[in-house]
Structure 1
Amino acid sequence: MSWNVADVERGGVAGVFLEIACDESGSDGENLTGGNTDVFAHAGVSLSLASAAATVAEIRSRIRSPAEEYKATHLLREKHRAVLEWLLAPEGPVDGRARVHLMEKAYFVVDRTLGLLLDDAAEAAVLFRAGRPVFGQEGWRAFLEAANQLLRVRHDGDPVDAFYGTVDTLRRAHPRTDAARILERLAATRPRAVAYRDGFLAGPPLIPLLNPLLPAIVRTAELWSGSGRPVHLVHDRQNMLTPERIAWIETTARRAGIGLTGLRLVVARDDARVQVADFLAGIARKIASDELNGRGDPALTALLRPFVDPGSVWDDARSGALLAAPVAG
């Protein structure tokens, strides 16, 4: 079923829309391979203002930091482990009322590169699994950085030559492997890459291919629209969220049959619901990053798992400890 704003305003939908407060953690724009984080997280919470304010007040009471604004880093400190476990616990303040969409940035780069150049994002998992063991850490890092530079709007030097030079070097050095087979296909796609770069001559695109925030917002709306009610998003202010991009998010969601009635921006410190979403996004990003890098905390991973979107963007072979079963709407 699809919804539209007019239906809601006329009262043509039973009940009011479901308002979801959102925030993100780990945003480095289009710099997905050389930024400060390797995971991007986007969280949405369904809490009343009163419940969210009570949750924030309880966290402040338990942590007792003089900080004017609390962030996820406060809860992630070992001395506040009990507060973190309380927040994520079954029957805790956000149990059944929060979800988080995760993106492993390196996988997102590979997925977008193969989707653009080969029209075959299904090969992303094959290349992602084979790349590091076949090319070695240095070779794999070179491929990821070249792909990132090719796709991002702002870049250094000639990203087309750099990318295809890297592809050629790696495929010749590692022939007769699954990874080299995919690179052979990529080697023939230079005209597509040139056309993609030439498209920037008229100005930067409205929707950068590599920015994870915009598709994550659409996915958050999709996650919550299963409730049977239209969804309205409240999001922390972001420079990326211009009126034109908000219009794109709303249009994209509606075309996909997602019941998104709209998105409005707020200042996080003025909305306790967004503060709780900020906590969850930051916590989830750190726990996910630790898990993917072999230093995970099994207890925290288990607590986070029920909140994680099963449609999170990364290689399924590496995400088993984090991915949750689908959550009923």
Structure 2
Amino acid sequence: MSRSLEDGERAAATGPAPEIACDESGSDGENLTGGNTDVFAHASVSLPGPVAAAAVAEIRDRIRSPAEEYKATHLLREKHRAVLEWLLAPDGPIHGRARVHLMEKSFFVVDRAVGLLLDDPAAAVTLFRAGRRTFGEEGWRAFLGAANRLLRVRHDGDPVAAFYGTVDALRRDSPRSDAAEVLERLAATRPRAVSYRAGFLAGPPLVPVLNPLLPAIVRTAALWSADGRPVRLVHDRQNMLTPDRIAWIEQTARRTGAGLVGLRLVVAREDARVQVADFLAGIARKIASDELNGRGDPALTLLLRPYVDPASVWGDVRSGALLAAPVSG
């Protein structure tokens, strides 16, 4: 590393509040069970601007694509495997300086639905892990879709009736099991669901229950300020990140003990640090999705694991190799 880059890193380390650059991959709004992706990833990097710019320049030099803006898809192409491994490697430019918070979307839906209706995180894990086996693929997909429609702000028809109709049908057709017992408990919660939906009559909530971005940003602040030193977040522009929601993020982070002194938005292509976070988010989402679906690449999973937040929201035991702790809600 050049003397100027070393000086830049020392300056960042001694400043009052280091800036952590963030970006996400896999956002489908509130459509978590019928969207294009099954994993949401929120990546963050602690890199001085010159170090990040040097990493982006090195990637461009190695890949040599004519594209004006590089994305994770460039690094994920098989012909660029060596560049991907270089980026994630222990001696690479981001090792020890980057983290990624993962959310398995279907588990996030179950966790939020059971949390709202039963306030029992353990029941969410039980239902998620046994649901497909107990109710069959078609029945399980029907439950996930009904739960997603119940929780999302925008809806068609009567999502409460649809959800409890699905719960009742699965209860009738399923053998006794731990998962079926959770459905028995859910069947008695209709008044709570009606109250939840009635709350939308006053207008959409500031923080939608099913939006994964806002809690991921709060968690990112907690990760980087765990040593007691406050941080400032720099994030790619998102329509979801309105001034009121940024205020909510800052207040929630502080209330939960995270040292967040502020959050500002930038245009990703104008900030090399956010570009690096964008690379990591897209790469992590793809590796995690492959692992989730039984087509994981052991070498890439091993390279990614040091970056993964152990408090990621992940329910599938098949993917325990990706996380230090398989489940966290």
Report the TM-score, using the length of structure 2 for normalisation. 0.93
Is there any run of 5+ residues in structure 2 with no aligned partner, and where? 1-13
2:89 — aligned with what?
Answer: 89
2:234 is the counterpart of 1:234: yes
The CA RMSD measured in Å over matched residues stands at 1.0
Matches within 5 A, 1:1-329: 15-315=15-315, 317-324=317-324
Contact 2:85 2:303 (C-alpha < 8 Å) held by counterparts: yes
CA distance in 1 between counterparts of 2:276 and 2:15 reads: 25
Instruction: Give yes or no for contact 2:24–2:43 (8 Å, CA) kept in 1.
Output: yes
Cα contact 2:39–2:285 (8 A) shared by 1: yes
Is contact 1:24–1:43 with CA below 8 Å preserved after alignment?
A: yes
Deviation, structure 1 residue 37: 0.1
Deviations 1:232-290 (A, max 9, x none): 00000000000000000000000011100010000000000000000000000000000
**Superposition deviation, residue 68 in structure 1:** 0.4
- Report what 2:7 is aligned to: none
Alpha-carbon contact 2:134-2:175 (below 8 Å) kept: no
Which amino acid is 2:66 matched to?
Answer: P
| 8 Å CA contact 2:129, 2:316 repeated in 1 | no
Q: Relative contact order: is structure 1 or structure 2 higher (C-alpha 8 Å, sep ≥ 6)? A: 1
Tell me if structure 2 keeps the 8 A contact 1:269–1:275: yes
Amino acid in structure 2 at the alignment position of 1:23? D
Matching residue of 1:7: none
Post-superposition shift, 1:15? 4.8
Q: Secondary structure at the match of 2:112?
A: helix
Deviations for 1:46-91, whole angstroms, at most 9, x for unmatched residues? Answer: 0000000000000000000000000000000000000000000001
Question: Which structure 1 segments of 5+ residues have no match?
Answer: 1-13
CA distance in 1, matches of 2:128, 2:306: 26
Q: Distance in 1 between matches of 2:44 and 2:144?
A: 30
Match of 1:155, SS? Answer: coil
SS of corresponding position for 2:163? helix
TM-score (norm 1): 0.93
Please report how far the alpha carbon of residue 314 of structure 1 lies from its aligned counterpart in structure 2 after TM superposition: 1.1
1:316 deviates by 5.9
Does the aligned pair in 2 maintain the 1:15–1:229 contact within 8 Å? Answer: no
Name the SS for the 2:59 alignment partner.
Answer: helix
The amino acid that maps onto 1:42 is H
Shift >4 Å, 4+ stretches? none
Whole-angstrom distance in 2 between the partners of 1:242 and 1:145:
28
Taking the aligned partners of 2:179 and 2:47, their CA distance within structure 1 comes to 46
